[in-house]
Structure 1
Amino acid sequence: MRIRGLEIRVFDGVYPPSEDTFLLMDAVSGERAARGLELCSGTGAVGLSIASRVGEMVAVDLNPAAATNTLLNYRENGMTAHVVVGDLFSPLHGEFDLILMNPPYLPDGDGAPADLAWSGGASGRLIIDRFISEVGDFMSPGGRAYMLQSSLNGIHESIERAESEGLDAQVVGRRDFEFESLVVIRMIRKA
């Protein structure tokens, strides 16, 4: 599939680019960074959309097929990224100027491997809460993190949690649908 000038292949079992992907792409479209990170990379589409303006790009996904999918899409688009199979920040060290994440956020599923691309656990906050509690440790001073989230799992709760972690947080993108709203929350590490 062709998305915003990028050739994106989607492997079986990997979350395909959808409205949430496009909203996050829009929110980060003007960003530049020396070092960028995409967590829950899936196909790698979000990171690829800004990779030409990022000095070093790193992508992480728990699903080995998704990590392979990300790597292939970078190669097919003539770009490079260090792609890692891992659980959020666990395989990483160092700081990033820009961190992107479109996590599994739907409040459903029992955590079965087949559900990992979309299910955020019973409340939809399984990955979101971990991300918020850990992201500040991996942000450079003044670093920015962008996280996509659904209105089905507590947007205000995420902002309050981020602020309690010492981050400035606000909604910077929103799309409303019949059954939910999708938002992008930007978190900035205070210098």
Structure 2
Amino acid sequence: MTDLAERRGTETKVYQPAEDSHLLAEVAAEEIAGDELVLEVGTGSGYVSEYVAEETGARVVGADVNPHACANARERGVEAVRADLVSPFRDGAFDAVLFNPPYLPTDPDEERDDWMERALSGGESGREVIDPFLDAVGRVLAPGGRVFLLVSSLSGVEEVVSRAGENGFSAVALRDESFPFETLTILKLVR
């Protein structure tokens, strides 16, 4: 009983797979080869990392600032590291980086200080986590490395593409999926 209660408590602190997770996992698995080293930033439950590793044979490392997410991902068999974006990883280490960022625009006066809020809230613009990620991710990419970034129409795809360009990336939309209140786009960023 205690184990089940603990697991349920962890689930309320960890982003669980939804449409955005499934979209990123499917697109990334189509693009990644089995001999590649992949980093998933913001791994949450570990679903995307697990899916990509199983579908491709690639080694996938999941990273999350949330210790509950790291524990949840490890339960799925994901190699998980507690990290804020790409900060602890060495230069040029990864062939691909995946990220389903917190992207929901959120009124700062209505934000709560809890793990689920951090997993969802992209700040006022929806890009307050995306922008620092784009500023930093190039450092950990190997030559020829790619970034697979999920972006919502709520946070401004054009603004994200522009910021990526400022960091030396060109962007191509690999897939769009429309929902009642937003369109989700998977961007492939390359230098």
Task: Using structure 2 for the length normalisation, give the TM-score.
Answer: 0.85
> How far 1:55 moved relative to its partner?
4.3
The question of whether the paired residues in 2 share the 8 Å contact of 1:132 and 1:162 is answered with: yes
Superimposed CA distance per residue, residues 43-88 of structure 1 (whole angstroms, 9 cap, x where no aligned partner) = 11111111143543211101100010011112xxxxxx43111211
Instruction: Within 5 Å, give how 1:33-112 maps onto structure 2.
Output: 33-52=35-54, 53-74=56-77, 81-94=78-91, 95-108=93-106, 110=111, 112=113
1:25 has 2:25 as partner: yes
> Retained in 2: the 8 A contact 1:36–1:54?
no
Structure 2: which amino acid aligns with 1:93? R
**Higher percent of residues as strand:** 1
| CA-atom RMSD in angstroms | 1.8
Distance verdict in 2 for CA 1:17–1:117, change over 3 Å: same
2:26 partner amino acid: D
Local SS of the residue matching 1:42: coil
Number of aligned pairs?
A: 175
Partner of 1:128: 130
Where in structure 2 are there 5+ consecutive unaligned residues? Answer: 1-7
Give, in whole Å, the separation in 2 of the partners of 1:106 and 1:164: 23
Tell me, which stretches of 5 or more residues in structure 1 are unaligned?
1-8, 75-80
1:127-160 Cα offsets, whole Å, 9 max, x none, are 1101111111111111111111110111011112
* Identity across matched positions, percent: 37
1:27 aligns to what SS in structure 2? helix
* Partner residue, 1:149: 151
